[in-house]
Amino acid sequence: MTALLYAALSLAAQAEPTVLLADGFDGGPGVDRGVWETETHRQGRGQFGEMGEVGEDGVLRLSVSDDGEGGFAQELIKTREAYLPRPGHTLVFQARLRIPHAQEGIIHAFWMYEQSRRDGAMRSDEIDFEWLTTQTAGAKDDPVLVSSYIDWNVDERKYETLRDPVYGSHVGDSVKSGADTADWHIYTLTWRQGALDTFIEAEDGSQRRLVSYRGDLVPDGEMHLYLSSWVPPVDWTEAHDEDFQPRAEGEGVRSFPMEVDWVRVAELPD
């Protein structure tokens, strides 16, 4: 995987990475709770609370499922450690993952997040890779939504803002990935002070830059790394599927996972 770091950053081979996290989910049956934790809250149309399942194949599956009581169960993991690039260094976040189902109305995500109360409101910093299955199901050149939030007002949400004293900043770009999310791909996010770059890397080693942000469009506070699967609210019209409804109690349980082969975090000198 070191070669993937160099390819993403176009660095000379003498710049050796310092590995901060490398999890291949080989310890099963669950995730390493010394590295990962979860959250228990409602978001969108479902409830978070579980950390997914690790199969005998060493693959983590983070799913949206029927909860057996007429609702949706959602799964999430986040690192216990928070990350912030040091001056003169780049942090590299990578995950090898795929979405092996065609159910519309779900969001799978590889992202970073932190929130705190400041400047009179609950504010968040965030960087996202998000896959909206209303757009990826059955497609081949699947779009990925890349977003950045800086001091964003969680209490009074407004999108596409820049340095607004009330709302903060948000920018988002939906870009064609040139790939089918049903197949395994490596997604990379590189973050240094004032610079954010995102990439997709196929199994043959070819690389494509997705989105880059600079300056005021880059968070400058520490964040945790997340992976999650959830059902968006009905007012997110691009992501919502009216036909996707939870089964009633006794009707059986379906499960729609994002599969994660490994996750890696490393630091490289600029």
Q: What rounded mean pLDDT belongs to the chain?
A: 92
- Tell me, what's the pLDDT at 138? 77
The 10s digit of each residue's pLDDT in 145-186 is: 999 999 999 989 899 999 899 999 999 999 999 889 999 999
The domain at 2-269 falls in which architecture? Answer: Sandwich (2.60)
Give 3's pLDDT tier (boundaries 50, 70, 90).
low
Q: What is the pLDDT of residues 29-83, one digit of tens each?
A: 789 999 999 999 999 999 999 999 999 999 999 999 999 999 999 999 999 999 9
Question: What is the 3 state secondary structure string of 41-107?
Answer: CEECCEEEEECCEECCCCCEEEEEEECCCCCEEEEEEEEEEEECCCCCEEEEEEEEEECCCCCCCCE
Break the chain into its structural domains and give their ranges: 2-269
Q: Is the pLDDT of residue 11 over 50?
A: no
Tell me the pTM: 0.93
